[in-house]
Structure 1
Amino acid sequence: MFCPRPCGCKGQRTCLLCEGQQGVPQPDTWVTGQEKEGSYVYCPACNLAWPGWDSQSWLSHPNHRGEPVIFPGVKIMLGFLSEEEEENLLVAIDEVPWDLSQSGRRKQNYGPKCNFKKRRIRCENFTGYPAFTKFIQDRFSTVDILKGFQTVEQCSLEYTVERGASIDPHIDDCWIWGERIPTLSLLTDSTLTLRKFSGPVSKYNLIDTQSYPPVVRSDGTVKSDEEIEREINELTQQVENQESGEKNGEKINCTHTPQSEDTRNKIGEISNSASSPQSQEIKIRILRIPMPRRSLLILYGPARYDWEHSILREDIATRRVCITYRELTPTYLSFGPKAEVGEPVLEAGKNFWDHRSHYVLDA
């Protein structure tokens, strides 16, 4: 059960191929009927979450039903690519070999090799990205929420109906990957399903978020490097004071929790722009975020750290390709305490190479 299978799945991960050919049982869906009834759909037109399950319901904007809630940490840029750009990009992507991945997916991954348990990163085989994707990263500089974003991993994923592709609920590791996660959707509309995380802070290395400050303020603006550096120094001093106090037999609580202090307290609040604003808090368990074709979705802040995200098998109607980007945590940037570890990764991430020459030479 826990050895790799020919389809690429291993452990509890499954796809239609291993479920049908090897008799691996399909795991129960993690979304219950009751949770579907109480779910919300994010609308990229008004940036509010409205009651419902159908992620296409946002197309009825502004004629929504029910009472909306504020859900911070989500930005959706419709039409981030043109149709011609999408077509040319997909041609080039399919000229690059795909690798098998779990749960029916295929992938093309460019970035350092990370061991999240041992906290080790190796970048000797990381040489940058195919040049045909450079225009995407260049365009990030025009997006306010991506100010200062430095790509250190670029991962293309393919989802197909035939393989029953999906991705289980998870939070991207917080030890090395930073706050903002942009994802570009190609070929078809799809949906990202979020579920409130209630597990231990040891999972996904969430505990690390207490050692570095948030990059994005609660109003959606991005902090300067100088401001982040100052906050890192303040956090470091707090930790040193706490450790010193413990050595002297004192009990000192480090109460600074960057992510919750800046943004988390706004989740589930009633929008002041709603037709009938109220002061009561609504508890959201499931949020459905539409990912329209050629759009760019950016998760940050509470949506990044407090919620597991997934792609359900039922939300893949035809072939879908996406490209997800990641940055380093402030700890490993030039002003961080472990800048020497991040420096070679950031340098490698500045390189772009011709994919045709690259793969011909490797053949």
Structure 2
Amino acid sequence: MAAAATAEVPEVLQECGCKGIRTCLICEGRRHCDPPWQLSPQDYGPKVNFRKQKLKMGDFRGLPSFSREVVQRMGLYPGLEGFQPVEQCNLDYSPERGSAIDPHLDDAWLWGERLVSLNLLSPTVVSMCREAPGSLLLSSAPAAGPEAYADCLIAPSRSVLCQEVEVAIPVPCRSLLVLAGAARHQWTHAIHRRHIEARRVCATFRELSAEFCPGGRQQEVGHELLQIALSFQGRPV
């Protein structure tokens, strides 16, 4: 009976929940789907207009309660000391839906130095590109460890245009990926459609920029955001 009921639902174009750099075959108008495939992102954070550099609290009540322990454990890892996220975005990637995310740099007006993503359910690949004029100096090394260098000839370095370089970063299931420094500000990151081979859930956490931290021009706003975020009483907005 359940199968018969499902079969009666007509195939119609659904609103997929994608926005901005998020994309799938549904929002591109190339795929129809039944309602059970419709999985929207969940955002826990203030409402932000990045172009006008304005924000308002809106219905923001904090990060979700289930993230409290995750955030606490993050701070135990080297490089994440003092990490206090004020925004969490949960994304659900599906190969049937053709999910992907375009190459982009995250905003640097509101979001701070470290972008942290928790990868769940399946492995994937994050692709990094440097969209800048000029070239990069690439060097080759033996596949074996450093101890093999003495017995191997290393290929000479060569210069390659930045636009021709893409670095593929394997991201295993249940791994934590941190983008900081040049990877945060100079290299775009993306997930190609071909690298979503099974359902993937990702939780991305963002901290405040210096402008919203103590001593910054909007430190009061930042203090309020942190108090709300770390109350862990949030609902998706």
TM superposition score category, shorter chain reference: 0.7 to 0.9
**Contact persistence 1:123–1:344 (CA under 8 A):** no
> Which structure is higher in strand share?
2
Cα deviation for residue 339 of structure 1 reads 0.8
Distance 2:21 2:170 in 1: 27
Displacement of 1:352 after TM fit? 1.5
Indicate whether 1:114 and 2:48 are aligned: yes
Please give the secondary structure, in 1, of the residue aligned with 2:59.
coil
- Greater share of helix: 1
Greater CA drift, 321-330 or 141-150: 141-150
Task: Percent identity, please.
Answer: 39
How big is the shift at 1:335? Answer: 2.3
Unaligned runs of 5+ in 1: 23-99, 200-266
Partner of 1:182: 116
Say yes or no: does 1:316 pair with 2:214.
Answer: no
**Do the aligned residues in 1 keep the contact of 2:127 with 2:190 (CA within 8 Å)?**
yes
Contact 1:192–1:310 at 8 Å: present in 2 too?
yes
Offset, 1:334: 1.3
Q: Which residue of 2 aligns with 1:20?
A: 31
Query: Are positions 1:131 and 2:140 aligned together?
Result: no
Offset, 1:157: 0.4
CA distance in 1, matches of 2:20, 2:216: 36
SS at match of 1:296: strand
CA deviations 1:58-102 (Å, max 9, x no partner) are xxxxxxxxxxxxxxxxxxxxxxxxxxxxxxxxxxxxxxxxxx7xx
SS in 2 for 1:297: strand
Distance apart, 1:14 and its partner CA = 5.0
Aligned counterparts, 1:225-304, within 5 A: 270=139, 275=149, 280=157, 282-283=159-160, 285-304=165-184
Which of 326, 336, 342 is 2:222 aligned to?
Answer: 342
Matched, 1:196 2:130: yes
SS of residue in 2 equivalent to 1:158: strand
SS of 2:184 mapped into structure 1: helix
Q: Secondary structure at the match of 2:125?
A: strand
Contact map agreement 2:105 2:188 (CA 8 A) in 1: yes
1:6 corresponds to = 15
- Given the alignment of the two structures, is residue 157 of structure 1 paired with residue 84 of structure 2, yes or no? no
Alignment deviations for residues 138-188 of structure 1 (CA, whole Å, 9 cap, x no partner): 011111201121101011100001110001111101111111111110001
- Consecutive unaligned residues of structure 2, counting only runs of 5 or more, are 1-13
TM-score norm. by structure 2 comes to 0.76
CA distance in 2, matches of 1:174, 1:327: 10
Change (3 A) 1:15 1:341: same
- Quick one: distance in 2 between partners of 1:345 and 1:129? 11
